[in-house]
Amino acid sequence: MRDEAAAESVIDRLLLALAAQLDSSDSSALSAGAVEAFAVLSRAEAEWIFGRAGHLVHYGADTNPLEALMHLISAVQRSETGEDARVGPGDGVRIVGELPESLAGYDETWLRRTVFVVRYVGGDATVDVQSDLTDDYVIATVPASGVKPLRRSSAP
C-alpha cells in the first residue's frame, strides 16, 4: 500500500509541475517529446493520469492549469483515434441505455444527468469516461454504444 501511495504522490507532483510549466510558458502547447509520450498511453496509463489529475482538481488544486493539461493530453490522444470513431478523447457524452456494471454503485439519476468526458477510446468498442470534476472524478469503462455524443472536443 505504501508503494501505491508513493506512486500517486509522484504522479501528482509531476502533473502539477507540468501544468505549472505550461501555465507559465509563452506557449500553451506540449513539447514534441511530451506529445510523443502521451500519444502512446495505454488504457491503464490514461486512467492513472486523468484519475490523478481529476482527484487534484476535485480536491482543490489550481483548476485552470490542470484542466488545460488534461485538454492537451486529450488532444494528443484524439489525434491518435481513427477519424471514423463515433466519439473521441475530449468529447462530452451522456450515458444512455442499460447501465454497465462499472457504474453499478452510482446513483442512476446522477449518471443520466452528468456530462462525462471521453478519456480513452478502446479498440474493443469501449470508451473510458470521466465525470465532471466538480461532482466527482470517477473514470469508468463503458460500451461505446452506451454513450450519446453531446459535444465534439475542440482539440485538433
Alpha carbon 70 to its chain's center: 7
In the numeric block, the cell 495505454 is attached to 42
pLDDT at 143: 94
Higher-confidence residue: 105 or 82? 105
Over residues 19-44, the pLDDT tens digits come to 999 988 887 889 999 999 999 899 99
- Provide the β-strand partners of residue 143: 126
pLDDT at 1: 56
- Give dist(CA 77, CA 71) in Å, integer: 10
**Confidence class for position 154, pLDDT limits 50, 70, 90:** low
Rounded mean pLDDT, 132-141:
85
In the chain, where does DSSP find H-type helix?
A: 2-24, 32-39, 43-58, 63-79, 108-113
Checking if the pLDDT of 111 tops 90, the result is yes
Higher-confidence residue: 135 or 110? 110
Rounded mean pLDDT, 93-122:
93
- The CA-based diameter of the chain, rounded to the nearest angstrom, is 46
Structure-block grid coordinates of residue 140: 469508468
User: Domain residues of the chain, as ranges?
Assistant: 2-151
State pTM to two decimals. 0.89
